[in-house]
Amino acid sequence: MKLITKVIPEPTEVYKPSNPFKAKVIENKRLTPVESEEDIRHIVFDLSGSGISYLEGQSLGIQVPGVDEHGKKNRIRLYSIASSRKGDDGLSSTVSLCVKRVMYKDDQGVLQKGLTSNYVCDLMPSDAVYITGPAGRKLLLPADNSVHLIMLAVGTGIAPFRAFIQHIYREKGSWGGKVRLFFGAKTGLESIYMNQENNDIGQYYTQETFLAFQALSREEKTKDGNKFYVQNRLEENEKEIWEIIKEGHFCFYICGLKGLESGAEEVLDKWAKKDGLNWNTMKAEFVEQGRWNIEVY
């Protein structure tokens, strides 16, 4: 099988931590209803005058003002871009991020707040924010639009795939290969970009080449009574997905929590064994060819 040719970014202005770009917030919209325990935001930034051009699958860094406990500037936190290269406005002057407010209790039971996520989620329109990047080549789209796309995401890992779908169907108008999205959330309330607050992805359900499959871990159960995850939904679609993979004309993407990668690989390993194949060998070839594209944390 041939190597996958990716759409590589053209030379553009790239901002480093030592010289970030001062952008302005245009919009900060909550993507989850107020009754949801998760506060997930869609934040739009004005890039006018930056010289930045980005592609779907890339990331931008956010730097919180101030210093850490060691007196050094706060570390840059990277976030996957959630908008297509033309931005939500279609004018190539904005960029959007999807950010979850991180709140947790430490070993002593004291509530802790994620520094960068809370900073970003609290931003207001017209606020200034320092941005670095763009960065990343792992999750870029293939240049050949006949390649089948298989995308797996949980939570805010949906961001690059919203960008993919926006670019494919809003800007290009179509995609020759099949486009399959498997997305996981706790409940329908957290099914971001596919819920009552925002249905940006759902609006493309009518596209001939596009299908989306949701897995809601707190609302569904497996036959064994366990929580239902993205890999369970993937397994339900064995016939189509495994045929695509064996055919070899595809790009597989995973974005989100690390457990999603191992869960998906368990399913693929099971399918391979049924056919007397070795998944690890297959995966090594796919990685070398640029077909296996992972960004997990």
Percent of all residues in the chain with a pLDDT value above 70, rounded to a whole number: 100
What residues are paired with 60 via a beta bridge? 79
Q: What is the pLDDT of residues 62-96, one digit of tens each?
A: 999 999 989 999 999 999 999 999 999 999 999 99
Is pLDDT at 297 greater than 80 in this prediction? yes
DSSP string covering 39-79: -EEEEEEE-TTS-----TT-EEEEE-SSB-TTSSBPPPEEE
Residue-wise pLDDT for 17-27, tens only, equals 999 999 999 99
User: Global pTM?
Assistant: 0.95
In the CATH hierarchy, which top-level class contains the domain 21-134?
mainly beta
For residue 6, the model assigns a pLDDT of 93
Task: Name residues whose C-beta falls within 8 Å of residue 26's C-beta, 6 or more positions apart in sequence.
Answer: 44, 45, 46, 94, 125
Burial class from Cβ neighbours inside 10 Å (0-12, 13-18, 19+) for residue 110 reads exposed
Partners of 105 in beta bridges: 111
The catalytic residues are 79-80, 255, 295, 297
Tokens of 285: 């070839």
Mean pLDDT for the chain overall: 95
Min mean pLDDT across 93-102, 187-196, 240-249 is at 187-196
pLDDT above 80 (res 172)? yes
For the chain, give every domain's residue range: 21-134, 148-296
The predicted pLDDT at position 225 comes to: 87
CATH topology of domain 148-296: Rossmann fold (3.40.50)
Q: At what angle do helices 279-289 and 258-274 cross, to 10 degrees?
A: 120
Which tens digits make up the pLDDT trace of 115-168?
A: 999 999 999 999 999 999 999 999 999 999 999 999 999 999 999 999 999 999
With 90 as the cut, is the pLDDT of residue 105 above it? Answer: no
